[in-house]
Structure 1
Amino acid sequence: MSRTAKTILLIVIGVVVVCCGGGIAGFFFLVNSSTKAPKAAAGDFLTSLEAGNTQAAYKLLCGQAQKNYGPETFDAYVKKNQPTAHDMSFGGSYSNTNGTETASISATVTYKSGKSSHTFEMRKEGGAWKVCGDPY
């Protein structure tokens, strides 16, 4: 292979690597930016639970979750095993299907009994992100 051909091949490989790297970085940027708000809402939910403010946490539940757990039931359930800390280092996933925005946010939640992984199913309702599915 001639020296010119080697140079061209190296340039093409370099361009491919830069393009692929940019595409991967762009994908992670989009995922992180689209999960920023639902991640913050899940964090607010957990922070309220950790502070013992179950009323504030209850307001962060979506309508369906509030139907499944009345305020008193939710309060009693939380008080049995109240979280003490959380970590949400992974961004999660986002979906918009026919205008319904949802996200899944992964967290490690610390309780007195130890740590547990939990995925928060989030739904945008009335312009705000709410915790749906199994909230706890």
Structure 2
Amino acid sequence: MSKTWKIILFSAIGVLVLCCGGGAAGLFFIVDKSTKAPKAAAGDFLTALEGGKTQTAYDLLCGDTQAQYGPETFEAYVQRNPPSAHDFSWGGSYSNQNGTETASISAEVTFKSGKAKHSFEMLKEGGAWKVCGDPY
């Protein structure tokens, strides 16, 4: 192979690597930006539970989940195994289907019995992000 072809080949490989790296960085930025608000809402929910503020946490549940757990049922559920700390891993996912915004946020939640991974299903309801499904 001639020296010119080697230069062209290595240049093409370099451009390909830069494009792939830039695309990956762009994807990271987009996912991080779109999950920032739902992650903050999930954090507010967990912080309220960790502080013993179950009514505040209950108010951060979406309507469907509130219908599944009344306030007293939710408080009893939390009291059986209250969280004491949490840590969010990178990422999550975001979706907007016909104007319905949802997200899934991964966290590691610490309980008296140990740590557990949980995926918080979030729904934008009334302009605010709410926790839906299994609260934790």
Aligned match of 1:28: 28
Aligned match of 1:17: 17
Deviation at 1:5, TM superposition (A): 1.0
Aligned match of 1:3: 3
Whole-angstrom distance in 2 between the partners of 1:5 and 1:68: 67
1:1-136 to structure 2, matched below 5 A, reads 1-136=1-136
Deviation at 1:90, TM superposition (A): 2.2
Whole-angstrom distance in 1 between the partners of 2:99 and 2:5: 51
Instruction: Using structure 1 for the length normalisation, give the TM-score.
Output: 0.97
Which blocks of at least 5 consecutive residues in structure 2 are unaligned?
none
Deviation at 1:3, TM superposition (A): 0.7
Query: In 2, are the aligned partners of 1:39 and 1:91 still within 8 Å (CA)?
Result: no
Whole-angstrom distance in 1 between the partners of 2:40 and 2:91: 10
Partner secondary structure for residue 121 of structure 1: strand
- Runs of 4+ residues deviating >2 angstroms: none
Partner secondary structure for residue 61 of structure 1: coil
Deviation at 1:70, TM superposition (A): 0.5
Whole-angstrom distance in 1 between the partners of 2:9 and 2:77: 63
Deviation at 1:89, TM superposition (A): 2.0
Partner secondary structure for residue 107 of structure 1: strand
CA deviation profile, 1:30-64 (whole Å, cap 9, x unmatched): 11111111001001000000000001100100010
Backbone CA RMSD of aligned residues: 0.7
Count of residue pairs brought into register by the alignment: 136
Which blocks of at least 5 consecutive residues in structure 1 are unaligned?
none
Instruction: Using structure 2 for the length normalisation, give the TM-score.
Output: 0.97
Partner secondary structure for residue 85 of structure 1: strand
